[in-house]
Structure 1
Amino acid sequence: MGQIYLVRHGQASFGSADYDQLSVLGTEQARLLGQWFANSRQVFQRVVTGAMKRHRQTADACLAELPKALLADTDWQTDAGFNEFDHEQVLLRHRPDFADPAAFKPFMAKHAEAERAFRVIFDEAMARWMGGAHDADYTESWPAFRARCVGALERLAAAAAPAQTIVVFTSGGTIATLCHHLLGLPDEQLFDLTASLVNCSVTKLLYQPGKVGLSYLNNYAHLEWLGEADAVTYR
């Protein structure tokens, strides 16, 4: 039976001009995961990254911690099927006023619990995106995103040799969508699943011909064990 490790990227640069860039903490989270893999003597026959910069940065920082001998025969590839949905577009279709930083920053500043207030707004934006009534408003609708993610996983598993161990560096929305698919969950549960995923957490899948199943979800013990108090983040 083969194994696929889905790794959510490290903390990105939320609120900056370039979100698709690991923060200093995000790079450290990736390094901690790499140390965990190294301590486990984990060998990967294939490394897959989405096409986003934060995916490759996470992979590079993580796997730099492994002894070179463990990666000597590893095949690297990029598959944009594992890219995240356009979270900025999803938010702005619901709240067009947030396109102007002069509106967004005061909104965040006036709430004592800004993270919670933003989560409410973003859940509403996700519900609009997934509801089906506004598909034409989006470059990629929810059904199209789900099909893209599932297709990428099925393509990967079908091309993999039996008993290979593969690591995929991707995003939270992609991982949540794949687990949502594998577990047969209703759409509304995707919100909580996405919000629960920790930066640089690991979700493990097992595959055999014609079948992929979930082994474990959102493991971040490496951050709790090796990291400082602020090592666990959600965005």
Structure 2
Amino acid sequence: MGQIYLVRHGQASFGSSNYDQLSELGVTQSKLLGQWLARQGTPFHRIIVGGMKRHRQTADACTGELNEAQIAGAEWLTEPDFNEYNHHEVLVKHRPDFEDPAEVKRFLASRPNAKHAFQEIFQVAMGRWMQGEYDADYGEPWPAFRTRCCGALQRVLDGAGKSQNILVFTSGGTIATICQQVLGLGDRQVAELNWSLVNGAVTKLFYQPGRVTLSYLNNYAHLEWLGEPGSVTYR
């Protein structure tokens, strides 16, 4: 039986001009994951990295903590189909005024709980994207994104040996969508799961010919090593 570790990238730079960049905490989260994996001693046969900068930065920080023997013979691949959906497009199709970053900052500054207020708006934006009525508004409608993510997983399976350990660095929406396929979840559950996934957390799948099962979901015990408020983040 083989194992696929789906890693959500460390905390990115939410609210900055370039979201696709790990924060200082995001780098620490990625290193903690690497240290946790190093203690396990699992050898990895393939390391697959999404096409976004935050995926590569997470992979570099994480694997830099592994024992050399764990990755000595690993094949490294870049797979852009593990990329996240277009957050910005999903948001501004619901709130066109948020096309202006200054407007987003004004909105957040005007709310006593800015993150909660933003999450409520984004949940509605996600619902608009996923419901199917407005597919023509999006460069990548929800059905196309779901097909892309599931296709990326299938290509990993098609190229996997019988009992390989595979490490995949990707994003929360991608992981939630893959879990939908594995667990048979509805679209609403995917959206809720997406919001619960922690930066730097890992979800593990077992695979064998013709079958993929979930071993564990959204494991972030390694982040709790810090013992500090704020070490576990969702955005």
| TM value normalised by structure 2 | 0.98
- 2:228 maps to 1:228: yes
Higher mean C-alpha displacement, 25-34 vs 178-187: 178-187
- 2:214 maps to 1:217: no
**Aligned residue number for residue 83 of structure 2:** 83
**Aligned residue number for residue 133 of structure 2:** 133
**Aligned residue number for residue 20 of structure 1:** 20
* Matches of 2:50 and 2:96, distance apart in 1: 28
* Matches of 1:187 and 1:98, distance apart in 2: 25
Runs of 4+ in 1 over 4 A off after TM superposition: none
- Other structure's SS at 1:198 match: coil
Q: Which amino acid aligns with 2:202?
A: V
* Matches of 1:186 and 1:33, distance apart in 2: 30
* Matches of 1:101 and 1:22, distance apart in 2: 19
Q: Tell me how far 1:126 sits from its aligned partner.
A: 0.3
Q: Tell me how far 1:81 sits from its aligned partner.
A: 1.1
Unaligned runs of 5+ in 2: none
Q: Which amino acid aligns with 2:190?
A: L
Aligned ranges 1:162-173 → 2 under 5 Å: 162-173=162-173
Q: Which amino acid aligns with 2:76?
A: W
RMSD across aligned positions (CA) = 1.0
Aligned ranges 1:31-42 → 2 under 5 Å: 31-42=31-42
**Aligned residue number for residue 187 of structure 1:** 187
* Contact 2:43/2:69, CA 8 A, preserved across alignment: no
Q: Which amino acid aligns with 1:106?
A: R
Aligned ranges 1:49-198 → 2 under 5 Å: 49-198=49-198
* Contact 1:158/1:209, CA 8 A, preserved across alignment: no
- Other structure's SS at 1:217 match: strand
* Matches of 2:108 and 2:43, distance apart in 1: 44
* Matches of 1:26 and 1:69, distance apart in 2: 25
Higher mean C-alpha displacement, 55-64 vs 183-192: 183-192
Q: Which amino acid aligns with 1:104?
A: V
Higher mean C-alpha displacement, 222-231 vs 123-132: 222-231
* Contact 1:32/1:227, CA 8 A, preserved across alignment: no
* Matches of 1:226 and 1:104, distance apart in 2: 32
Q: Tell me how far 1:103 sits from its aligned partner.
A: 1.8
* Matches of 1:105 and 1:22, distance apart in 2: 20
Q: Tell me how far 1:222 sits from its aligned partner.
A: 0.3
| TM value normalised by structure 1 | 0.98
* Contact 1:45/1:165, CA 8 A, preserved across alignment: yes
- Other structure's SS at 1:188 match: helix
Query: For each residue in 1:27-78, what CA deviation from the matched residue of structure 2 results, as whole angstroms up to 9, or x when unmatched?
Result: 0000000000111112111000101110010000000001222211011001
Query: For each residue in 1:140-177, what CA deviation from the matched residue of structure 2 results, as whole angstroms up to 9, or x when unmatched?
Result: 00000000000000110111000100010000000001
Unaligned runs of 5+ in 1: none
* Contact 1:7/1:168, CA 8 A, preserved across alignment: yes
Q: Tell me how far 1:181 sits from its aligned partner.
A: 1.6
**Aligned residue number for residue 199 of structure 2:** 199
- Other structure's SS at 1:204 match: strand
* Matches of 1:39 and 1:212, distance apart in 2: 26
Q: Which amino acid aligns with 1:64?
A: G
